[in-house]
Amino acid sequence: MFSLEELRQTPALLKLDLYCRGMRILSSCDGGNDTGRGVLRTRAGLGSGLEIILPHGLWTNVPVTEGFAKSSPYALHRENDQFLLMRGSEIVAPVQLSPRPKWYDKLTTSGKKMTRVGTLQGTYLAIYPAKVCDYWVQKPDKVNCRFCSVGLNLGVDDDTVKSVEEVMEVVRAARAESKITYVDFNTGHYEGDTYLDLLEPYITRIKKETGLLVGVQTPPHPDLGRYDKLRAMGVNRVSFCFEIFDRERFREVCPGKHAQYGMDRYLDAIRYCASLADRGPATEPWVVNGEIIAGLESPESSIRAINWVTSVGAVPTVCVFRPLAGTDYAKLPPPDPEPLVPVFRRLYEACMEAGLPIGCAPNIHVSLVMLPEECKELSTRHYRWQELKLAALKRGLGWYLNRRFTKAEARA
Ligand code: SF4
């Protein structure tokens, strides 16, 4: 177990440890004015916890409802309106609940609770705009990814139908109050590969009316030319979740993805999309992500995945496996954090060695994963020249985008 000293000095270790061990919420937190965002089951799995902000501004979503969290060494305690993260009788660190925006309690004009349309994950707006992934309803046997909870969330905390108007209302509310800069769309698999067709009307309106950054996470479309079109539309991020780099494990953990697409389709799409960086509007940043789950294969295999993704010019997204209540993997133990440290160290180092644009977009804090730049303190290597380049890029991009968003708001 990490020492308290290590956890206090290196918030990335604390974020990782909380993903793996979860947290209990003590009765001292009951009542009071500051209730945070509550616990909402959204996305394919990782949004099930409590959103809090750790020291050094690390936003995180801490498991609190799963079985393993009930025996966590960590506990959230409130004392004089200050939230403290405890381990036994020791204070690990003061923390904040992620602020609950007023729009969380508002309704759309159509009468839907806005959180059933979209929710904040960290500081960006996340939307799962369509019906449940077809893998959850396939007959005779479901072929959903074994860790995934999408089929348990939709219709519970997340609505199954979200019109473009409803999404636009929530985007505007989230921009006005929460100052979001980025909207992320996520879909599962749909027969006929309709996922990009479904998303394009939302993307067009958001780009035209707000100028916000927009990303999509879908299966890899068979027509790679569709990504040229997305790039031309001003989409800023495409993300492909192949989850597992070990092909045998991929087949076991993601039977639907394996049968329908196969790992190579994911890798081809990542490689192709990364090649579009210089082939689109210069005013639109472009990032390609390859997403994996650490803890469902060996750390060595996760590191191989990181090395492959960065080698083609894409940025790895590394989630930590969470055995979510109700899923096929609910009874598996969460991963041990210690063996995952080299994975997250490599995440930072590989991005810096490949000169990838990490941590540059304004006001994007991600609660569901450890961002590459958050893992800097896990490494003893220095990349001074690359850090200078990233700092300059961040300043320029922040200035340009904030101006663009403000102009769009003035026009609205
Ligand atoms: S593709 Fe897999 S992870 Fe994605 S929604 Fe479907 S079952 Fe869940």
Residue spans of the domains in the chain: they are: 4-97, 102-401
Average pLDDT in the chain: 93
Residue-wise pLDDT tens digits, 255-264: 999 999 999 9
* Smallest CA separation from ligand 1 atom 7, residue: 144
At residue 388, the pLDDT reads 97
- Adjacency order of strands within the sheet including 287-294: 119-121, 124-127, 182-186, 213-217, 237-243, 287-294, 315-320
* Smallest CA separation from ligand 1 atom 1, residue: 188
* Smallest CA separation from ligand 1 atom 2, residue: 145
- With bands split at pLDDT 50, 70 and 90, how would you rate the model's confidence at 36? confident
Side chain identity at 82, as an amino acid letter?
Q
Residue-wise pLDDT tens digits, 114-162: 999 999 988 999 998 877 889 998 888 899 999 998 888 655 556 678 9
At residue 138, the pLDDT reads 86
At residue 141, the pLDDT reads 87
Determine if the peptide bond prior to 140 is cis (ω within 30°): yes
- With bands split at pLDDT 50, 70 and 90, how would you rate the model's confidence at 48? confident
At residue 158, the pLDDT reads 64
Q: Alpha-carbon dihedral of residues 155, 159, 160, 162, nearest 10 degrees?
A: 170
Instruction: Give distance in angstroms: CA of 318 to centre of ligand 1.
Output: 16
The β-bridge relationship of strands 124-127 and 182-186 is: parallel
Instruction: Give distance in angstroms: CA of 289 to centre of ligand 1.
Output: 17
Instruction: Give distance in angstroms: CA of 217 to centre of ligand 1.
Output: 11
Residues with CB under 6 A from ligand 1: 44, 133, 135, 144-145, 148, 150, 188-189, 257
- Using a pLDDT cut of 90, give the percent of the chain over it: 84
Residue-wise pLDDT tens digits, 305-350: 999 999 999 999 999 999 998 899 999 999 999 999 999 999 999 9
Residue-wise pLDDT tens digits, 162-194: 999 999 999 999 999 999 999 999 999 999 999
- With bands split at pLDDT 50, 70 and 90, how would you rate the model's confidence at 371? very high
At residue 44, the pLDDT reads 45
- The structural architecture, per CATH, of the domain 102-401 is Alpha-Beta Barrel (3.20)
- What is the b/e burial string over 352-373, where b = at least 16 CB atoms within 10 angstroms of the residue's CB? bebebbbbbbbbbbbbbbbbbb
Residue-wise pLDDT tens digits, 202-248: 999 999 999 999 999 999 999 999 999 999 999 999 999 999 999 99
Residue-wise pLDDT tens digits, 51-86: 999 999 999 999 998 999 999 999 999 998 899 999
At residue 80, the pLDDT reads 87
CA–CA separation, 379 and 195 (whole Å)? 38
Tokens of 387: 């850090």
Instruction: Give distance in angstroms: CA of 107 to centre of ligand 1.
Output: 28
At residue 132, the pLDDT reads 83
Which residues on adjacent β-strands are paired with residue 318?
A: 292
Residue 160 CB neighbour total at 10 angstroms: 13
Residue 177 CB neighbour total at 10 angstroms: 14
- With bands split at pLDDT 50, 70 and 90, how would you rate the model's confidence at 34? low
Tokens of 271: 């490689």
Cα-Cα-Cα-Cα dihedral sign, residues 82, 88, 90, 91:
negative
- Would you give the end-to-end CA distance of the chain in angstroms? 52
Whether 40 has a pLDDT exceeding 60, the answer reads no
What are the C-alpha distances in Å from 70 to residues 31, 50, 63, 66, 74? 20, 14, 10, 7, 9
Atom of ligand 1 nearest to the CA of 219: 1
Residue-wise pLDDT tens digits, 267-314: 999 999 999 999 989 999 999 999 999 999 999 999 999 999 999 999
